[in-house]
Amino acid sequence: MPVQPIVNIDDGAIEKKLRKLAKQTGVSMQFICWDQLRLWTQSMLRKTGPQKLSQGRFTVAEGVAELFRPVETPQALEFWKQRLAKEGNSLITYTNRGKMRLNRSQVKAHSVSEMKRIHKAARTSKGGVSKRKVQRQPNLAFDGEFLVAQSEYRKFLRMKQAQVGFLKAGWVPALEFWAQKSRAAASVPSWVQRHANKQGYPAGKIDENGNGFVAAINSVAYANRRISQDRLVEITGAARQRDLTRGAFKRMDQLADRFNAGAI
């Protein structure tokens, strides 16, 4: 099931706060719930990693460097392949760590498609990569990294860094929908907005009196695992409840102005 921040008024304490806010502002419960979900989804987008583009690009670069070692020229890579072809599945070479063994598997990642396969197999539940998942043999030369042509290394790195922000972008469809409903602005960084295939959507329906529910769905394949690990729904949901006690009532005039800007 996709990750779902859901706003309803089944909880008695929350319902009391929402109805108090609606009464003091003259705003319908429907509009209040739309606006609360907008604020909640905005928080989910902000808290979902990475916080900055530069941070995400650096993390990706670290992961790629963990698995692959660029070889300066294709000829150098071919040299190792030819030696392995003559000597079998592995050969002995000398590095700054002394005598080491180079395995045939280390020269197989010669294309971006093969690098993608290895990188995917090395992914951990927390979103990083672990070389141990794809290279279990100890004491290999080049720290067990897969040797690839420098041109392929750069191409793969650019491709992976271009994907930074894809998970955050899964909140954008719902955020923009509920922002439009509540006549408010949605704040989305350009490096998140750039993703054309945003995997998420708004859901639910609620009437004028607050009967029903509304939800924001992030349907990126790994969203549940990543966001559940960081307890983002619980953390941002608790912040929403605290805001209903304090901040929301300080913004009553703005809320009423947006509600009265047109017919619901």
Q: What does the pLDDT look like over 165-205, one tens digit per residue?
A: 999 999 999 999 999 999 999 999 999 999 988 999 999 99
Q: What's the pLDDT score for residue 246?
A: 76
Q: What is the pLDDT of residues 10-63, one digit of tens each?
A: 556 777 888 888 888 899 999 999 999 999 999 999 999 999 999 999 999 999
Instruction: Say yes or no to pLDDT of 3 above 60.
Output: no
Q: What's the pLDDT score for residue 43?
A: 94
Q: What is the pLDDT of residues 86-144, one digit of tens each?
A: 766 676 666 665 667 777 778 776 789 999 999 999 998 877 888 888 887 777 777 78
Q: What's the pLDDT score for residue 197?
A: 86
Q: What's the pLDDT score for residue 224?
A: 87
Number of neighbouring beta carbons within 10 Å of residue 65: 14
Region 67-88: mean pLDDT is: 75
Mean pLDDT of the chain: 85
Region 246-254: mean pLDDT is: 79
Residue percentage of the chain with pLDDT more than 70? 86
Global pTM?
0.84
Domain ranges of the chain: 6-49+166-259, 54-161
